[in-house]
């Protein structure tokens, strides 16, 4: 199994100091984290996309290109690209360029986005929310497969024998579709034959099993080889010496993260300590605890999903870089070797 980390680059005040770092410092720390993850032997590093002042990254390809110059082996992916509101040709060109700069390490994780800011910003109609995604993913897959493309849609101008350049190092840029809880999205990923990345921020992992089942069933119905299909699990994670210590240390940041996120949606409340402790129980999907508990959670989910990738989001809620760095080290040295050994049997 591939093990990695990702960041959404949120700019949130540190609940311990009451201070918020600058976008410049946030980007510098993200590049430092990626370099550390690469040197520690992790497999994947992802960068998210938002178009708000409380996030530091609006262009994952630019940030990942900078990261490509200070790393050697780690795969570089968006997490996620808001595919509804980005032109597929520009997206392909940017990630093909990243693939060239990184010697074949670029990937795209595409999603529909949790915010609508980019619709207004780039002149798209929210009424076309799902239609835009369907049309853009169709075009993107054709761009990946062909050097010259003829294509016609309804919401974007048509292409006729268009030269698509540059071409990446990889024969085909890997594409994943990010899915929260909708069966339709999992079905779409199966129909198109892309990877499936499940966003699991808590709750019972069994609730996500139907997504994986529908994905694989639909892929088989559309004659995609199951051997080539990949499932990834993504979620919040924090590792400490004991389960209790992990809860004590992570709660202020996790609570702060949800308070910040809920405010963006007009909800002025966060998660209580009691709710958080219940979310961290052994049988749940929140990856908080000792290294052993994280291993047990990943392996339990592996038995459930048979997935090929796990990537963790650690740097949330204003967490200082020192704690992020400590978690990267624990994930790489205490968790990843065991997971790789067990899943490689």
Average pLDDT (26-52) is 97
Average pLDDT (264-277) is 86
What ranges make up the beta strands (E) of 291-330?
Answer: 309-313
* Confidence grade of residue 269 (pLDDT, cut at 50, 70, 90): confident
Q: 156: part of which helix (H) or strand (E)?
A: none
62 alpha-carbon distance from chain centroid: 16
Q: Is the pLDDT of residue 67 over 90?
A: yes
* Confidence grade of residue 264 (pLDDT, cut at 50, 70, 90): confident
User: What single DSSP character describes residue 167?
Assistant: P
- By the 8 A CB rule, do 298 and 335 touch? yes
Distance CA 299, CA 3 (A): 12
Matching CATH number, 2-343, of 3.50.50.60, 3.40.50.300, 3.20.20.30, 3.30.390.50: 3.20.20.30
Q: Which residues contact 6 (CB under 8 A, 6 or more apart)?
A: 44, 45, 46, 47, 48, 77, 79, 234, 311, 312, 313
What ranges make up the beta strands (E) of the chain?
Answer: 2-7, 44-47, 75-78, 81-82, 106-111, 148-151, 159-163, 175-179, 195-199, 231-240, 287-290, 309-313
Count of other CB atoms within 10 angstroms of residue 207: 11
- By the 8 A CB rule, do 74 and 34 touch? yes
Nearest to 255 by CA among 288, 284, 226: 288
Nearest to 248 by CA among 16, 10, 9: 16
- By the 8 A CB rule, do 106 and 62 touch? no
Which of 196-200, 238-242, 270-274 is least confident?
270-274
- The DSSP result for 193-232, as a single string, is T-EEEEE--SS-GGGGHHHHHHHHHHHHHTT--GGG--EE
Q: 171: part of which helix (H) or strand (E)?
A: none
Q: Is the pLDDT of residue 265 over 80?
A: no
Average pLDDT, rounded, for the chain: 96
CA dihedral 259, 298, 6, 216 (to 10 degrees): -100
Mapped onto helix, strand or coil, the DSSP state of residue 106 is strand
User: What single DSSP character describes residue 41?
Assistant: T
Helix axes 129-145, 88-101, angle to 10 degrees: 50
Model pLDDT for residues 108-117, shown as the tens digit of each residue: 999 987 788 8
- Rg (alpha carbons) of the chain, rounded to whole number: 19
Helix axes 291-305, 209-221, angle to 10 degrees: 40
Model pLDDT for residues 174-204, shown as the tens digit of each residue: 999 999 889 999 999 999 999 999 999 989 9
* Confidence grade of residue 101 (pLDDT, cut at 50, 70, 90): very high
Distance CA 273, CA 14 (A): 18
pLDDT score at 115: 80
- By the 8 A CB rule, do 36 and 66 touch? no
Q: Is the pLDDT of residue 330 over 80?
A: yes
Model pLDDT for residues 72-94, shown as the tens digit of each residue: 999 999 999 999 999 999 999 99
* Confidence grade of residue 139 (pLDDT, cut at 50, 70, 90): very high
């Amino acid at each position: 199994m591939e093990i990695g980390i990702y960041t959404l680059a949120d700019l949130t005040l540190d609940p311990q100091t009451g201070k918020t770092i600058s976008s410049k410092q946030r980007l510098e720390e993200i590049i430092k984290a990626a370099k550390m993850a690469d040197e520690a032997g992790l497999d994947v590093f992802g960068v998210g996309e938002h178009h708000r002042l409380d996030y530091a990254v609006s262009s994952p390809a630019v940030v990942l290109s900078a990261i490509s110059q200070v790393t050697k082996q780690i795969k570089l992916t968006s997490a996620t690209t808001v595919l509804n509101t980005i032109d597929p040709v520009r997206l392909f060109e940017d990630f093909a360029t990243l693939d060239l700069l990184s010697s074949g390490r670029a990937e795209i994780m595409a999603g529909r986005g949790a915010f609508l800011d980019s619709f207004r910003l780039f002149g798209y109609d929210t009424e076309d929310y799902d239609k835009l995604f369907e049309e853009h993913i169709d075009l993107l897959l054709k761009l990946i497969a062909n050097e010259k493309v003829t294509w016609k849609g309804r919401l974007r101008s048509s292409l006729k024998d268009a030269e698509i350049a540059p071409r990446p190092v990889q024969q085909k840029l890997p594409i994943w579709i990010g899915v929260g809880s909708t069966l339709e999205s999992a079905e779409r990923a199966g129909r198109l034959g892309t990877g499936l990345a499940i966003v699991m921020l808590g709750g019972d992992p069994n609730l996500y099993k139907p997504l994986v089942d529908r994905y694989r069933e639909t892929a088989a119905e559309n004659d995609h080889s199951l051997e080539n299909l990949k499932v990834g699990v993504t979620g919040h994670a924090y590792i400490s010496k004991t389960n209790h210590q992990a809860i004590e240390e992570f709660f202020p940041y996790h609570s702060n993260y949800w308070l910040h996120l809920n405010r963006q949606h007009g909800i002025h409340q966060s998660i209580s300590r009691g709710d958080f402790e219940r979310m961290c129980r052994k049988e749940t999907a929140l990856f908080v605890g000792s290294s052993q508990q994280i291993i047990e959670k990943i392996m339990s989910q592996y038995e459930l999903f048979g997935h090929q990738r796990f990537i963790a989001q650690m740097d949330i809620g204003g967490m200082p870089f020192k704690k992020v760095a400590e978690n990267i080290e624990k994930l790489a040295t205490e968790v990843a070797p065991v997971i790789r050994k067990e899943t490689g049997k």
